[in-house]
Structure 1
Amino acid sequence: MEYPGLTAVGFLPWFKRQNFPESAEIVAKIDVEGAECTVLDTWMDAGMTCRVSQYFVEWHARFDTTSTSAKPPCQLATKARLIREVGNCNKRGFNITYKKWT
């Protein structure tokens, strides 16, 4: 869908342009109607997990058209990866939390 005068911007490029100081406490409330895997995988692939202090994610499995009986929804892998990476950040001295938003 196109909207005249409106340009879509990815979250990662937008975030990087903000030049938040390393000491900034950033809270991410992610509710993107099925794009959670794309947004979070891109974020983690860029090594950005430790930049957020708190993650609140609303997962939308009903929008995942990639899952089959042989391939579980992407949310399972992405959620597990986020939890693992948050744990790794905390082992390095960060204090990050993840919560499922409902």
Structure 2
Amino acid sequence: MRNQQSTQGILSIIALVCLAAGWFNLFSPDVNTLLSRKVFYVLIGASFFLQAPAMKNQNFTYAMYAAAAICVLGGLFIPLGTKLESIKTVGLLGGIILSIASRPSYRQ
């Protein structure tokens, strides 16, 4: 479980580096686009797949797998510049919301 969390964290950090590289135009326009609009979503989706089994609610687990699949499949197969491209963002936002909603509350 701990190793899985570490892998998930590393994937998330690499995904954020890809996003930042695209935003700050660190490479050629084609590479920046590939990193920030394709690789980012594939890595975040992979991170969501690793996080899904740790969800506290079974319904959240299935929803996280769905968000992960949307991110990965969208990143791999949805052509850039189409109206369908926004589906990847829906998967990303869904995964983020599920992550926040499944965190334990530490009320005293």
Please give the range of the TM-score, normalised by the shorter of the 2 chains.
0.3 to 0.5
Higher-RCO chain (CA-CA 8 Å, sequence separation at least 6): 1
Scaled by the length of structure 1, what TM-score is found?
0.35
Q: Which structure has greater helix proportion?
A: 2
Q: Which structure has greater strand proportion?
A: 1
Scaled by the length of structure 2, what TM-score is found?
0.34
